[in-house]
Amino acid sequence: MIRKNKIPTILGIILLFGGVFAGVFLLRNNQIFKIGASPTITPQNVRLSNFSDSSVTISWITDDKTASFVSYGVNENVGDVISETEDDQKFSTHSITITGLNPETNYYFKINSDGTTFDNNGIPWQFATGKTLPMNQTTIPISGSIITASGEAVGRAVVYITVSGYTLSTVTSESGTFVLQLGSVRTPDLAGYAQIVPAKTLLEVSATTQDGEVATAKIFAQSANPIPALVVGRDQDFRSLEPSLDGDNPNADLNLPKTASTESKFNISGKKTEGSKTVTLESVSEGEIVSSDKPEFFGDGPAGTKINISVHSETPVSGTSTVSSTGSWSWSPPSNLSPGTHSVTISWIDTSGIKRTLTRNFIVQAGELPAFVATPSAITQISTPTPTATPARTSTPRPTNSATPTATPIASKSPTPKPTKTPTPTTASLPQSGSLTPTILLFMMGLAVIMFSFSTWNVSNRKP
C-alpha cells in the first residue's frame, strides 16, 4: 500500500511545482497571450517629433488600417486621451500631436490601436518637453511633394525632416504636398532654437507611405522651398541644387475657357444645409501665411457645441465660441499676433462624450493680402501635425529624434476599448503594465500547498 501511494504523491508534487512556475511565468508575461492582439495592428517605428515646451507629435505605422488614440499623463497611470481623428477614420500611417503640456516635464504614453493598448515591453513610452522660449521671429518655410514612380501623388504619407539632431514631421495632403517651418527647430537638448544657415544646414528628408514604402532625400535649406518631388522607393540627393527663389506669391490663371458659361453655378434659392456632424476649422490650412495680425478663425460644427480655441504664441491667447443654430462658428484673438510662426488648437466634446482636438500651424506675415493666403503647397486636410524621435525604455528621450525604439510594442493584459462616454477615462479603465503583488501571493499559496502535500506524504509513508 505504501508503494502505491508514494508514486502518485511525488507526481502530484512535481505537477504542483510545474503549475506554480507556469503561473508565475504567465502572470509576468501575460501580454504574450493577449487574445486578439494581431501583429497587423501593432504600432511599428514609433517616433517622436516637433518637440516644444507645450507639445509633441507621436507617429507610427501599422500593417493594417486602424483607428487609434494615445493615452498620456505625468505618471505611468496614463489618463488623458487624444484621438487621431474626430470621426475615427482608419489609417496605416498615424500621427497625433499632443498640446497643452507643461514645460520641462516628463510624460508617459501608450498607443491604442483598434481597441488594443500597446506599450514599450510592459512599461509606457516616455518623453520630456523643452523649456519655454520666446517666439522665434525667423520664418524659413520648406515645402515639397511625394509621388510614386509613375508620377501619382501620395496622400497620407508621414514626412520626417531631421535638422541638426531635431526632427520635424507632418502628413501629406491628398494631393501629396506638405509644408513645414524651420523656425521652430530647436537644439537637441530643447534648450534653445537651432541656428539655421540656409546655405550650410543640411536637411535629411524621409517619407513613409501607407503601403510601407519609403522615399528619402538630402537637400540644403536654401533649396528646400520647394523640395523637388520625392519619388517613393528612391534615395535622392539634391545638395547641388541652386537656392530657391522664395518669397513670391504663387501665380494663378483665372481666365475662363472660351466655351465657359458666365452664369453662376451657386444655388442660393434652397435652404441652408445643416451644420457639419463634426467641428471643422475652415479658415486656415497647415502652414498657411497670414497677412493679418488679428485673423479670424471660423468653421462648422453641430449646433450648440462649445469650442475652446487657443493660439500658441509668444504670449498665448485663448477663448471660446459656440456653434450657432446655422452650424457655423467664428473667433478672433483679443490682441494682435506678432509676426512669426504660430499654432491654433481647437478642442470640443463630441456627441459621444470624447474630447477632440485639432491643431494647425500658420505664419503671421505683414502685408496687403487677404487674411489667409495659402502657400504654393499648403496642406488642406491635415488635422494634426506629426512626429519623430525614439522613446527609450528606461531613459527619457530628450530628442535625438531620429532613432527608432529597439523594443517591440507589446499589447497589455486586456484590451482598452476606445472611450465612448467620457473625454478622459479614469485610471482604472486603462491597463496597467504589470504588478508583482499577485505573483507573490500565488507563490506563497503554492508554497503552502507544497508544505501540506509534503506533510501528508510523510504521514502516508510512516509505518503503522
Q: Per the omega criterion (within 30 degrees of 0), is the bond before 385 cis? A: no
Give the chain's count of helices (H) and strands (E).
Answer: 2, 25
Alpha helices in 155-245 (DSSP H): none
Residues in the chain: 464
Cβ atoms 53, 105 nearer than 8 A: no
288-373 has the same fold as 40-250+383-429: yes
Handedness of CA 193, 198, 200, 205 (dihedral sign): positive
Strand ranges, E, within 89-210: 91-98, 106-113, 116-119, 125-128, 141-147, 158-163, 166-171, 177-181, 202-208
Structural domain boundaries in the chain: 2-33+436-461, 40-250+383-429, 288-373
- The pLDDT score that the predictor gives to residue 13 is 63
- The pLDDT score that the predictor gives to residue 33 is 37
Buried b vs exposed e over 221-256: b needs ≥16 C-beta within 10 Å? bbbbbbbebbbbeeebebeeeeebebeeeeeeeeee
Buried b vs exposed e over 364-377: b needs ≥16 C-beta within 10 Å? bbeeeeebbbbbeb
Among 287, 350, 341, CA closest to 313: 341
Q: How far apart are CA 327 and CA 301, in angstroms?
A: 5
| Triad 93, 96, 101: Cα angle to 5° | 160
User: At 59, phi and psi to the nearest 5?
Assistant: -135, 155
- The pLDDT score that the predictor gives to residue 194 is 93
Instruction: Cell 525604439: give the residue.
Output: 405
Q: How far apart are CA 356 and CA 167, in angstroms?
A: 25
Burial of 299 (0-12, 13-18, 19+ CB in 10 A): buried
**At 28, which amino acid appears?**
R
CATH fold, domain 40-250+383-429, is Immunoglobulin-like (2.60.40)
Residues of the chain with pLDDT under 50: 1-7, 26-36, 246-254, 256, 260, 264-276, 367-408, 412-434, 463
Angle between helix 2-28 and 437-461 (nearest 10): 180
**At 457, which amino acid appears?**
W
Torsion-angle region of residue 130: left (phi > 0), alpha (psi -120 to 50) or beta?
A: beta
Question: Beta strand pairing status for 166-171 and 177-181?
Answer: unpaired
| Triad 286, 291, 297: Cα angle to 5° | 55
Buried b vs exposed e over 379-417: b needs ≥16 C-beta within 10 Å? beebbbbbbbbbbbeeeebbbbbbeebebebbbbbebbe
- The pLDDT score that the predictor gives to residue 420 is 39
Q: How far apart are CA 306 and CA 239, in angstroms?
A: 49
DSSP 3: H
Beta bridge partners of 44: 61
Architecture of domain 288-373: Sandwich (2.60)
Contacting residues for 407 by C-beta, under 8 A, at least 6 apart: 120, 121, 393
Largest CA distance in the chain: 117
Contacting residues for 37 by C-beta, under 8 A, at least 6 apart: 31, 116, 411, 415
